[in-house]
Structure formats: C-alpha cells, structure tokens
Structure 1
Amino acid sequence: MGNRGENSTRWESYRQVITAVTAYWIFSIGLVFLNKYLLSGNNLDAPLFITWYQCVVTVFLCLFLSKISKTYGIFKFPSMPLDAKISREVLPLSVVFVAMISFNNLCLKYVGVSFYYVGRSLTTVFNVICTYLILGQKTSGQALACCALIIFGFFLGVDQEGTSGALSYSGVIFGVLASLSVALNAIYTRKVLSSVGDCLWRLTMYNNLNALVLFLPLMLFNGEFGAVFYFDKLFDVTFWVLMTIGGIFGFMMGYVTGWQIQATSPLTHNISGTAKAAAQTVMAVAWYSEVKTLLWWTSNFVVLFGSAMYTYVQKRVMDQKNVGTSTASQEKEDRVKLLGRDEQEESV
C-alpha cells in the first residue's frame, strides 16, 4: 500500500511538471507564430495597434477574472482595485514595458521566426550590464565568458542572415532594443513590485492599463490610426478572433511562466525556455521552407549553449550563497544555544 501511494504521488508530480512545461511551450511558441502572422501576414501596417489591442484583452481578463473570483469564489484570483496612486508608482515600469513589447513585436515584424531568438538574444548580456550600472551588482568571470559567447553567436547569426539575403537591419536594431528593454523590465519589476502588494497579476493589470494610454500618442505619431481606419479587413470576424486569441495567449504567458517555475524550478524554467527556443527555430525553418547554412545553425547553437551555460553558472553562484547563508544561520543558532547552556550552567 505504501509503495502504491508513493508511486501515485510521484506520478502526480510528474504529470504536473509535464503539463506545466507543455502549456508553456504551446502558449509561447503559439504566441510567436500568431504575432508573426498578425504583424506581417494580413497587410495591416500597424504593429503598435496590434500590441495595444492585446493590452486591452489583458486588462479585460484581469478585471473579469477578479470579479468572477470575488463574486462566485470558483477559483482564486487577486483583487484588482483601480488606484491612481498605484498607477503613478508603476508608471516608470510601464514606460519600459511599452518599449519592451513594442520592440519585441517590431523585431518580429521585420525578421523571420527562425531568426527571432538570435535577433533578441542579447537580453542576458544587457541584464548583466544593467544590473551592474543600476543595482551595483557584479557578475562572475565565468558568467561574463558566457556573455561573450552569446555576443559571438549573435554577430555570427547576423552575418549569416545577411549572407542568405534575409537580413533586416531594422529588425536587428529592434531586436537589440528589445533585449535592452527586457533586461530593464526585469530590474524595474523588482523595484515597483511592492507597490502592488508583491502581486504579479496586479502588476500585469496596471502595466497594461498604463500602456493603453501610453500607446495612443505613439500610434498617432506612427500614423497607425489611418492605417487601421482604411484596413480592408477591419470588419472581418476572423481577423478579430485571431487578434483576441493573441491577447489571450499573451495573458496566459504570465500564468504558465509562473506555473512552470512553481512546478519545476527557476533553473529548469530557463532550460525549458532555451530548449523551446531551439524547437521554435527548427519549426520555423520547416514551416517557412527555409534553407540555412551550417554556420547559421552554428550561430544558433552558440547562442543557445552560451545562454544555457550562463543559467548553470548563475545557479551555482546562488547555491553557494544559499549554503553560506545557511551555514551562517546555523553557526548563529549554535552560538545562541551555547550561550543559553552557559547561562543555565552559571545559574546552577
């Protein structure tokens, strides 16, 4: 009976891990391919509007699920109070957030899905730079070596994409800016998370709510209102269904990312993300019937390997810090116990 119970518990744990990782892959890869179609396959030259609409869907889902949770209690979802003070506190992050999702989609608009991962692969490098400049935290030599490997892979990929005649300089520039924005977004998220009670869902809602306003002047400056107004598929149901699915996929990414980390670990999440990027690249090459050179594939491998090694190195550093913290805590506890025993002996 005991073994049967242990096997059942182990299988349930495996099932949860497999389900979480599968969901992450489906929503992540699905979102990239769907956004690529929306941004370049329907003749609507309005990437900021497409991103703005996905923010609308996210805000609606956050408010809707919060209301359902509060009214019926079928599931737990945090409350979503609309507070102007919190909105102002989150605003600096929202500016970075708008830049991040805009540059991500603009990069995807101009480069192929197969090159998308390499095109914005400098996130790790910018994360190291920004962490040092903003937070004053230094990185180990091994981690810096991994960053050098990623940079080499990036430039090799750009060179090979150019050799194949598929390179878009605009796409590469937007990819670099997207990488910088992703790194800044992670840092600013840590700074403002306390403003929303350390609730990532609430932060998601306020970020997207602020983005709805911030996008308006950008869309006006980019001339996208006219592009949307004269779009021949503006009243096409299929178009709006795909737009809404894109918004839902974007919303679900927040959930499945957290779910995968919870079901596995931050290290496994990063490894899964790296493996997903490799699978996504292969799928894109097959789907769009692209022919790539050996050096092009080498650039992808170098970036993937450098990213994986960086994750491994950082995990070892964190483990060493945790061991040091645990040892210090244990020594402190032992000193307290010894002091207490000495006091008892003195009283006797």
Structure 2
Amino acid sequence: MYQNFDEHNRLVNKYLKIFFVVALYWFTSILTVFVNKHLLSSDSVNLGAPLFMSWFQCVVSTLICYGMSRLSKKYPSVFTFPEGNPLDIDTFRKLLPLSVLYTLMIAANNLSLTYVSVAFYYIGRSLTTVFSVLLTYIILRQRTSFKSMLCCAVIVVGFWLGVDQESLTTAFSWRGTIFGVLSSLALAMYSIQTKKSLAHVNQEVWLLSYYNNLYSIVLFLPLILLNGELKTVINYQHLGAMWFWAALTLSGFCGFAIGFVTALQIKVTSPLTHNISGTAKACAQTVIATQYYNDVRSSIWWTSNVVVLLASAAYTRVKQLEMLQHHQQRNAATQKA
C-alpha cells in the first residue's frame, strides 16, 4: 500500500515538474519574441541589426553564467553552479556542432522576425515537426509510419495555405518566410543534438547554456561582418542612449532564459515533445499577437493555423501510440524469453 502511494507521489511530482517547465518555456519564449520584435522593427527602436542583437544576447547570457560560476565558488552555500571549463579543447570539440546549430537557430529566428509579423511568425516556423521526421530518418535511419507521414503532409498543406494568405497582405516577406523555414530546420537539428550533447556535460543544463553562448559569441562575429551590420550599429542614432542598452540587456536576459528553458524542457521531456510544445506555444502566441497589434486576419488564414496545430497534435498522438505499442511488444518478447 505504502509502495503504491510513494509511486503515485513520484509520478505526480514528475508530471508537475514537466508542467511547470513547459509553462515556463511558453512564458519565456512568448516574452522573448515580443521583446525582440520591438527592438528589431518598432518605430521607436528599429535597430535593423538582428545578428548583432543575437550576438549581444549571447554576451549577456555568457556573463550571467560566468557570474553564477564565480558566485558559486565564493558563496557555495548560497549559489550552486556545476564545475566545468569552457576552454577545454575536448569539450569544445564535442559541443561545437551543437553551438553551430544554436547560432544558426538564433540568427534565423531574429532574421525571420525582422521581416515578418509576430502573427505570421508561427506559420513561418511551423515545419519543425516535418524536419524532425526527415532528420530522424536521415541521421538515425528510423522509418516513419504512414500515419505520421500523413500528419506531416497536412502540416505542409497548412504551411502553404498560411503563406498563400499572407502573400495577399502588404506585410508578406519571402525573405522572412525563408528564414522561418531555416529556423525550423535548425531547431529540429538542435533538439536532436541537445539530447546527445547533455551527456558530455553530465546532464547539466547550466553548463550547456554557458558553453553554447560563449562559443556562439565567436561564431556570430563573421556573420555580423558578412551581413554588413557593423556599419549599421556604428551609425545607429540611439547608440548612446541608456534606454537602448537597457532594452538590449533585457533582450539578453530573455535570450539566456529561452536558451536555458529550451534545454531544460528537452531534458525533462524529449526532442519530439519540445517541438510539439513549441508549435502549440506559437499558436497561443499568434492569438496574443493579433490582439496586441490589432491585426485583423481572414478566416482562411486562421484555418491554416488550425490545420497546422491539429496536424501537429495528431502527429504527437500517433507517435505516443506507436511508442506504447513498441513498449508492449518489447515487454512481451522479454517475458517469452
């Protein structure tokens, strides 16, 4: 009796933890999108340097992690931070692929957000699940069932329907849409690679965030130069304004938070669950954006959002049933043996 009670409490605590982590991811991600959009294209700020902003966010995140590391050594009873050396060559070699994906994911996110509205941002990045299926087959050689492929096909239909409806508005941008698709691809690859990379840092999310942001500071520099943003930043009219740097620092804190909670959500769930959570979050984000910006949309445009959401939910359910069936078959085979 007591054993069953303890098991029940353990499961309740596990699911409560997952719920709060997912809720934290939703809140942090939505806040980050709105803050970044304001910095990138609002009339009052209009920075016009998405890669520089991404770089600065990585700088702030690195300083936060470094500060926590120093505080944990000086006040170990108050602050805790896992031991690690980001300058270790072996660590750098193992985590570099993830850091490259992390850099590309952030860059594509902010580049897409520069050119498209927050409402369309969801549709532009809705192909993450489709890319996850493709990458699972290409990298892991795992075949996907017909039902899963059908769900992915419906997601693609919803994506094209949304693009078609957005193209009828003056706010449509092919460049922003392409960056959104690239962001979906980078996120799918990042989710798969994160699960592997956590093993190299003893499952420590803090260390992974620290290393990723530090390495990305270096990786962003050539991208900033190639995109011609150095001149843009130097000539920016509000460069000396304190409010500008305060807003940029806030975006840095948001950038750190989203990187941390993304890795945490993947850790407590799975890459698949993370992708589905991101899709559902983006749907809520779309509703908030249309209300906040008074953005009136057609019924067909809303249909595209619903199609993507329902197809993503159906894909999740199909994968859950397939995993349950595989687990039952494995248990039956074990019992026979």
Seen in structure 2, the aligned counterparts of structure 1 residues 58 and 217 have a Cα distance that, compared at 3 Å, is same
TM-score scaled to structure 1, two decimals?
Answer: 0.84
Name the structure 2 match of 1:232: 237
Larger mean Cα displacement after TM superposition, 308-317 or 294-303: 308-317
Aligned with residue 81 of structure 1, among 67, 82, 85: 85
Give the number of the structure whose alpha-carbon radius of gyration is greater: 1
Mapped to 2, the partners of 1:266 and 1:219 lie a distance apart of 30
Q: What is the letter of the counterpart of residue 285 of structure 1?
A: T
Alpha-carbon offset, residue 183 of structure 1: 1.6
Match runs of 1:1-348 below 5 Å: 19-41=20-42, 42-73=45-76, 74-82=78-86, 83-257=88-262, 272-332=277-337
Seen in structure 2, the aligned counterparts of structure 1 residues 207 and 17 have a Cα distance that, compared at 3 Å, is closer
Q: What is the letter of the counterpart of residue 65 of structure 1?
A: M
Seen in structure 2, the aligned counterparts of structure 1 residues 240 and 330 have a Cα distance that, compared at 3 Å, is farther
Q: What is the letter of the counterpart of residue 92 of structure 1?
A: P
Q: What is the letter of the counterpart of residue 80 of structure 1?
A: G
8 Å contact from structure 1 (residues 161, 167) kept in 2: yes
Alpha-carbon offset, residue 197 of structure 1: 3.1
8 Å contact from structure 1 (residues 267, 312) kept in 2: no
Mapped to 2, the partners of 1:20 and 1:323 lie a distance apart of 29
Mapped to 1, the partners of 2:192 and 2:118 lie a distance apart of 27
8 Å contact from structure 1 (residues 267, 315) kept in 2: no
Name the structure 2 match of 1:338: none
8 Å contact from structure 1 (residues 62, 80) kept in 2: no
8 Å contact from structure 1 (residues 36, 108) kept in 2: yes
Mapped to 2, the partners of 1:331 and 1:62 lie a distance apart of 51
Paired residues, what number? Answer: 326
Larger mean Cα displacement after TM superposition, 190-199 or 221-230: 190-199
Mapped to 2, the partners of 1:70 and 1:148 lie a distance apart of 52
Mapped to 2, the partners of 1:96 and 1:266 lie a distance apart of 15
Seen in structure 2, the aligned counterparts of structure 1 residues 85 and 19 have a Cα distance that, compared at 3 Å, is closer
For structure 2, which runs of at least 5 residues remain unmatched after alignment?
none
Alpha-carbon offset, residue 243 of structure 1: 1.4
8 Å contact from structure 1 (residues 54, 247) kept in 2: yes
Seen in structure 2, the aligned counterparts of structure 1 residues 201 and 323 have a Cα distance that, compared at 3 Å, is farther
Q: What is the letter of the counterpart of residue 145 of structure 1?
A: L
Alpha-carbon offset, residue 221 of structure 1: 1.5
Q: What is the letter of the counterpart of residue 298 of structure 1?
A: T
Alpha-carbon offset, residue 65 of structure 1: 1.6
Seen in structure 2, the aligned counterparts of structure 1 residues 221 and 286 have a Cα distance that, compared at 3 Å, is same
Alpha-carbon offset, residue 216 of structure 1: 0.9
Mapped to 1, the partners of 2:151 and 2:185 lie a distance apart of 17
Name the structure 2 match of 1:342: none
Mapped to 2, the partners of 1:197 and 1:20 lie a distance apart of 20
TM-score scaled to structure 2, two decimals?
Answer: 0.86
For structure 1, which runs of at least 5 residues remain unmatched after alignment?
333-348
